[in-house]
């Protein structure tokens, strides 16, 4: 069984591997399946890299967004870490200004904090999401308003 320290070491190595793979044009992970759920606007592909379970808690997934695609407002009972691997996107916590985020940045969202993230209108956007699952699944809320999204531009 891997320790938390070993899992963190693996994730850190991913951050340094992704840029070298991107430069060679060879994707690190497959793009995944086009999401068909109702919790987003635009096209988003998902590739589950590790489904969280009782042995290895965090769910680890890659998400790839078309320009302008965005998730609805939502929260994670156990928090979430996003490792931005491609493009430019937006991240906003409820009641705070929108942040513009870029490839190479890390976003840490505290447990229970309502937020959304999505691609800038002129950029694809991708990340590796690390989401603890033992405290519960994602809680989906309302779609992001045009006002919220446009305030990021």
pLDDT digit string (tens) for 100-146?
A: 999 999 999 999 999 999 999 999 999 999 999 888 899 999 999 88
Give, in degrees to the nearest 5, the angle at Cα 70 between 135 and 31.
Answer: 80
Is the pTM of the predicted complex or chain greater than 0.95?
Answer: no
Integer Cα distance of 17 and 14 in angstroms: 5
Residue extents of the structural domains in the chain:
31-150
pLDDT, tens digit, 9 for 90 and up, residues 29-77: 888 888 888 999 999 999 999 887 777 889 899 999 999 999 999 999 9
Compute how many other C-beta atoms are within 10 angstroms of the C-beta atom of residue 35.
Answer: 17
- Which helix (H) or strand (E) is 126 found in, with range? strand 125-131
CA distances from 80 to 27, 49, 140 (A): 23, 15, 14
Residues, the chain, total? 153
Class of domain 31-150: mainly beta
Q: Find tokens 């990340």 and name the residue.
A: 127
Using an 8 Å Cβ cutoff, are 116 and 70 in contact? yes
Q: Copy the structure tokens of residue 135.
A: 């405290």
């Amino acid at each position: 069984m891997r320790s938390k320290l070993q899992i963190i070491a693996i994730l850190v190595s991913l951050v340094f591997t992704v840029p070298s793979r991107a430069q060679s044009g060879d994707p690190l992970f497959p793009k995944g399946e086009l999401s068909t759920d109702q919790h987003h606007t635009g096209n988003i592909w998902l590739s589950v890299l590790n489904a969280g379970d009782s042995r290895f808690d965090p769910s680890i997934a890659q998400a790839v967004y078309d320009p302008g695609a965005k998730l609805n407002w939502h929260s994670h009972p156990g928090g979430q870490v996003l490792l931005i691997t491609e493009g430019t996107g937006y991240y906003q916590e409820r009641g705070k200004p929108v942040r513009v985020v870029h490839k190479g940045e890390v976003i840490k969202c505290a447990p229970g904090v309502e937020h959304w993230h999505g691609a800038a209108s002129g950029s694809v956007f991708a990340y590796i999401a690390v989401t603890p699952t033992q405290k519960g699944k994602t809680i989906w809320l309302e779609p992001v308003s045009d006002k919220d999204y446009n305030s990021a531009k």
